[in-house]
Each structure stands twice: as structure tokens, then as C-alpha cells.
Amino acid sequence: GENVEQHPSTLSVQEGDSAVIKCTYSDSASNYFPWYKQELGKRPQLIIDIRSNVGEKKDQRIAVTLNKTAKHFSLHITETQPEDSAVYFCAATIMEYGNKLVFGAGTILRVKS
């Protein structure tokens, strides 16, 4: 959706390197920001989410940071592995649309071994 922009559209990294995917949103009232991972031919699955009352959240090799002032949030994957290769979607609740969850266009991450 046009209210959530995601960059880059494709990202290729070497195994072991870090990967960063960024999203911006337009609604300053947005309060929930999940990240979903979708492997080829599979369903999207939540990997991490953050709410507007915190600035950062970590879960092992993945982390999400939120900058409410700038209205952007990022996904950080450290020590990437081939199994991290997938499409990653960010999302944000958009109050303008009745607090609906709007997804970004997705980032194709390829981890080269």
C-alpha cells in the first residue's frame, strides 16, 4: 500500500553479513509494526513485531528499530544464513483506514553461501 513504503525491493548479501530492510509510514498515529517472512510457495509468518511504546526489540539474530519522529522502522538480521533467504514484508496499522494493517511491497532477500 502507498501508506507503507519498503526498501530495498531486493537485497543480496553474503552469508554471515548483516541485512537491513527499511520501511516508512505516513500515519503518525500508527502503533503496531510487524514483520513477516514468506518463503517461496509458503504462507507469510510473523518473525518479530514492535509497538509504538518501544524503540527497539531483539530476538536472537533479528531486531527491529522504530523511529516514531521520522516515521520509519527497520529490520536487522545479523549473521545471515542461507535459510534467511525469503521475501520480507513490513506492515503498519493505518488509522486513516480504520486501524487496518497495511503491508509494504516486500523485499526479496538472497543470502549467498
Which residues contact another protein by CB under 8 A? Answer: 1, 31-32, 34, 36, 42-46, 49, 51, 89, 93, 97-106
Q: Specify the residue, 83 or 98, whose C-beta has the smaller distance to another protein.
A: 98
Cα–Cα distances (Å) from 84 to 31, 71, 77, 91, 108, in that order, read: 27, 26, 9, 19, 10
Residue 97 DSSP code = G
User: CB 106 → another protein: shortest distance, Å?
Assistant: 6
C-alpha radius of gyration, the chain, whole number: 13
User: CB 113 → another protein: shortest distance, Å?
Assistant: 26
User: CB 30 → another protein: shortest distance, Å?
Assistant: 10
HSE-CB for 62 with a 13 A CA cutoff: 17
Q: Specify the residue, 76 or 103, whose C-beta has the smaller distance to another protein.
A: 103
Which grid cell sits at 62?
533479528
User: CB 34 → another protein: shortest distance, Å?
Assistant: 7
CA 110 to chain centre: 15
Q: Specify the residue, 2 or 83, whose C-beta has the smaller distance to another protein.
A: 2
